[in-house]
Amino acid sequence: MGNRPGPVAERVLPALSWLRGYRRTDLPGDLTAGLTTGFMLVPQAMAYALLAGLPPSVGLYASTVPLVAYALFGSSRQLAVGPVAMVSLLVAAGISELATPGTPEYARYAALLALMVGLAQVALGLVRLGFLTNFISHAVITGFTAAAAIVILLSQVKHLLGVKIEPTESTLRLVAELWGQLPQTHWLALLVGAASIAVLVVLRARFPRFPAAMVVVLAATLLTWGLGLSRQGLPIVGEVPAGLPPFALPDLNPAAVSQLAVAALTILFVGYLESVSIAKMIAARERYRIYPDQELVALGMANVVAGLFSGYPVTGGFSRTAVNYQSGARTGLAALVTAALVALTLILLTPLFRHLPQAALAAVVVTAVVGLIDVRGMRQLFRLKPADGWVATVTFATTLGVGVEAGILTGVALSLLQFIWRSSHPHIAELGYVPAEGAYLNIRRFPEAIQHPDVLILRIDAALYFANMGFIETRLRQCLAERPETRWVVLDLSGVNDIDASAVHALEELMASHRERGITFVFAAMKGPVRDVIARAGWDSTTGYWQECHSVRDALEKIGLQPAAEN
């Protein structure tokens, strides 16, 4: 955080900057936004906790103190932190092998996981490694998100059908079990679920800022309670303990920590990525700056307190943040209002939620994540860059077929390999003079280009490094074999941004092996960083087998040729 402006106190606690000079004019917006987001958060927190295999109360716990922590340390003023669907899915995937969902042991693992994620995020933020998320490409995110959304949707089908299913990691087995349970469908659950989805879809389309989820959840709860539907077998949430989140230090036993390590790392990056991308977008619109490493620290602090106060991993959510911003949030005060509303709910409303039907919560999850399946985005990737489309597809298939962590890792590895592959097969253009344009251009695009019989002009469009010099050499020798009278090779380096020792070495060998054949190399339009390396290599242009010029035109003049067109 070294290169950030401002006093130290505000760099550590960015909240000071809005707390100190709080403007009364920001209050109405902050209040409205905080309440609106709170009404959205209460049902979502319970629903996502169930998705993570936790009791609804844990979701509410994770929606109190962590929000305060983020409001103090975060550099975004509108980010709405709390439980989100994707992270909840990762929590379920990470813990379900170690404990049975719904048990106190499972909840202890969840709190430990939050603490681990938090400490790791704080550490990464302090050593400024926030940029690591840059290595997750857009293609990987598109493919991964779509697959995760499908996994989340499938996990909710059992609630919508009102059937019981053994937890399983395999998507295929889950689908098969659901199919087998279809005859056991509880029609009342299906009715409640379908009706909730319908109401949510209609309300969201018509009144985007209306707290639809809260209304649906409250209506379903009151109906279930009033009509005694749970006696008809409709699965309900059951006892939600009243009271503020209890403090409990997670049990840091080394075996559990090492078993949760992979899950913690995945949650760390996925959570951070979701959070920082929405925070950045809003900050840009509001003309303030987001500090990625400070964001990592702030999310880390939120997760640490989530772990200490019986919660589970949290992050900045995409949809709630958008609602918070659109409802007028100006500062972190909005988040404090949201946290207060959730705390009030925990104290007063939990007896009510006992009768909340699980199908209604499933409807909240389903309508929230269905938009994450971005078929159009996938198709656009194929149109833009087919290679990116394939990375997204492989990431999608691996996430769905093998698992969420394998999906992300495969995607990242594949996109890096793809980049290396592309840069090891750079675009090389043979140039000729095009009189109409007055410039030296690619003879493939301009067949009318004029070439000197004894001069070969090549433009290499890539940094020169070990992995592409073989390709470039082969191409050069090919061109020379096709044009045996060549006496001058002019390399236009205007597109060469960098050069490494292997490339310097390869060029030296190329020049040495062609010197005896009477071929001289001329390097045109060499950039500063490349020239610096060449100078350190001790090349000496006075030896006569290579020269350097500002441009291709200069090179031809130096050779003693008029540019072709002026012949």
393 part of the interface to a second copy, by CB under 8 A? no
489 part of the interface to a second copy, by CB under 8 A? no
Q: Tell the smallest beta-carbon distance from residue 133 to a second copy (Å).
A: 7
Q: Tell the smallest beta-carbon distance from residue 14 to a second copy (Å).
A: 15
139 part of the interface to a second copy, by CB under 8 A? yes
- 416-475 positions binding a second copy, by CB under 8 A: 416, 419-420, 422-424, 426-427, 442, 445, 461-463, 465-471, 473-474
Q: Which of 505, 543, 562, 565 binds a second copy (CB under 8 A)?
A: 505
Cα 483 from Cα 465, distance rounded (Å): 26
H/E element, 428: strand 427-434
How far apart, in Å, are the Cα atoms of 519 and each of 429, 434, 489, 513, 553?
A: 20, 25, 7, 9, 19
Torsion of CA 35, 37, 40, 46, to 10 degrees: -100
287 part of the interface to a second copy, by CB under 8 A? yes
Tell me whether residue 181 or residue 423 sits nearer to a second copy (CB atom): 423
Q: Which of 97, 105, 509, 557 binds a second copy (CB under 8 A)?
A: 509
268 part of the interface to a second copy, by CB under 8 A? no
270 part of the interface to a second copy, by CB under 8 A? no
How far apart, in Å, are the Cα atoms of 376 and each of 325, 350, 366, 382, 404?
A: 26, 41, 19, 10, 22
410 part of the interface to a second copy, by CB under 8 A? no
Q: Tell the smallest beta-carbon distance from residue 253 to a second copy (Å).
A: 33
Q: How far is CA 331 from the centre of its chain?
A: 25
SS (H, E, C) 279-334: HHHHHHHCCCCCCHHHHHHHHHHHHHHHHHCCCCCCEECHHHHHHHHHCCCCCCHH
The burial class, CB within 10 Å (0-12 / 13-18 / 19+), for 19 is middle
231 part of the interface to a second copy, by CB under 8 A? no
Q: Which of 21, 254, 528, 560 binds a second copy (CB under 8 A)?
A: 528
Of the ranges 100-108, 162-170, 337-345, 529-537, which one interacts with a second copy (CB under 8 A)? 529-537
297 part of the interface to a second copy, by CB under 8 A? no
- At 511, list the tokens: 């020049």
110 part of the interface to a second copy, by CB under 8 A? no
- At 121, list the tokens: 């995020």
Of the ranges 25-33, 88-96, 331-339, 504-512, which one interacts with a second copy (CB under 8 A)? 504-512
Of the ranges 6-14, 93-101, 159-167, 491-499, which one interacts with a second copy (CB under 8 A)? 491-499
Q: Which of 407, 369, 370, 362 is nearest to 49 (CA)?
A: 362
540 part of the interface to a second copy, by CB under 8 A? no
Dihedral sign from CA coordinates of 33, 35, 41, 43: negative
Q: Is 380 left (phi over 0), alpha (psi -120 to 50) or beta?
A: alpha
Tell me whether residue 174 or residue 270 sits nearer to a second copy (CB atom): 270
- 367-386 positions binding a second copy, by CB under 8 A: 380-381, 383-385
In DSSP terms, 561 is beta-bridged to none
Residue listed under structure tokens 């809260």: 214
Residues in contact with a second copy by the rule CB under 8 A: 131, 133-139, 280-281, 284-285, 287, 289, 292, 380-381, 383-385, 387-389, 415-416, 419-420, 422-424, 426-427, 442, 445, 461-463, 465-471, 473-474, 477, 481, 494-495, 497-498, 500-502, 504-506, 509-510, 513-514, 516-517, 527-529, 533, 536-537
